A = this chain, B = another copy of it.
Amino acid sequence: MDWQGIRAEVLRRIEARDYPPGGSIPNEADLAAEFGCARATVNRALRELARAGRIERRRKAGTRVPLAPVRQAVLSIPIIRHDIAARGLAPGYRLISAALGRPDAATRAALEAGAGPAAAHLWHVVGLHTGDGAPFVLEDRWINPEAVPDLGPESFAAISANEWLVAHAGFSAGRIAFGAVSATPATARLLGCAPAAPLLRLTRTTRSGPRPVTLVRLSYAPGHEIATGF
């Protein structure tokens, strides 16, 4: 039995309530003996189940089936252009504006830009991604120029700021949040939707090492959903 087989069998027992919610499951050594394999193989299987939130493991206390499993949604956030292409549409990008500007307090805080003069000179780039010519998502981005020195308006002419940054700056994962907003008049005009239409908005902060580089707000066209990839 390989580790994926053991994972499947243990999961089956959990769902069949052989291992009931709140109960313990045998320790690794016992399971290894039952399945006739090495303990490391059982460990691998149980580690994956723990990562998925289906079991809880603590040294000495053993492994338990949680009463209230913490559900986890793993969302893949692809490059927007690929996302559009994957839906069978022809991706396009149109730069709306790119200039140095003064961000609001929330943006400054997210980018850890101080209140000093530097905070008055963040790059502000707005662009529209399209699929088959129709608006797909509006990208509103602030960039900390201290973190990306060799950056100018010409950087954003052809491709999206996201791809430029991926290609020219070191990227780390950051915080991603989902919310809902009303389309402002300007946003509605760009997305071609009714004013005040409800829009799914994704906010992402990206770091290069310890330093925040960019904050992007993506406002998706009405009706758009982002789902787990099951």
Interface residues, chain A, with chain B CB atoms under 8 Å away:
14-17, 21, 52, 67-79, 82, 163, 166-167, 170-182, 196-201, 203-204, 208-209, 220, 222-228, 230
A85 to B182, CA, bound (A): 28
**Are B75 and A70 touching (Cβ within 8 A)?**
no
Taking the full assembly, how many copies of this chain does it contain? 2
Q: Which residues of B contact A228 (CB under 8 A)?
A: 175-177
Q: Which residues of B contact A226 (CB under 8 A)?
A: 177-179
**Min C-beta distance of A175 to chain B, whole Å:** 5
Among B68, B167, B179, contact of A21 (Cβ-Cβ < 8 Å): B167
Among B68, B163, B177, contact of A82 (Cβ-Cβ < 8 Å): B68
**Are B76 and A173 touching (Cβ within 8 A)?**
no
Nearest B residue to A14 via CB reads: B170
A78 to B200, CA, bound (A): 21
Q: Which residues of B contact A180 (CB under 8 A)?
A: 180-181, 198-201, 220, 222
**Min C-beta distance of A56 to chain B, whole Å:** 14
Q: Which residues of B contact A79 (CB under 8 A)?
A: 68, 70
**Min C-beta distance of A19 to chain B, whole Å:** 11
Nearest B residue to A66 via CB reads: B166
A75 to B78, CA, bound (A): 16
Q: Which residues of B contact A230 (CB under 8 A)?
A: 173-175
| Apart from A68-B166, A180-B180, A180-B222: 17 A-B pairs, beta carbons within 8 A | A15-B171, A16-B170, A52-B173, A67-B166, A67-B167, A68-B78, A69-B171, A70-B77, A70-B78, A71-B78, A173-B230, A179-B200, A179-B226, A180-B200, A180-B201, A180-B220, A196-B198
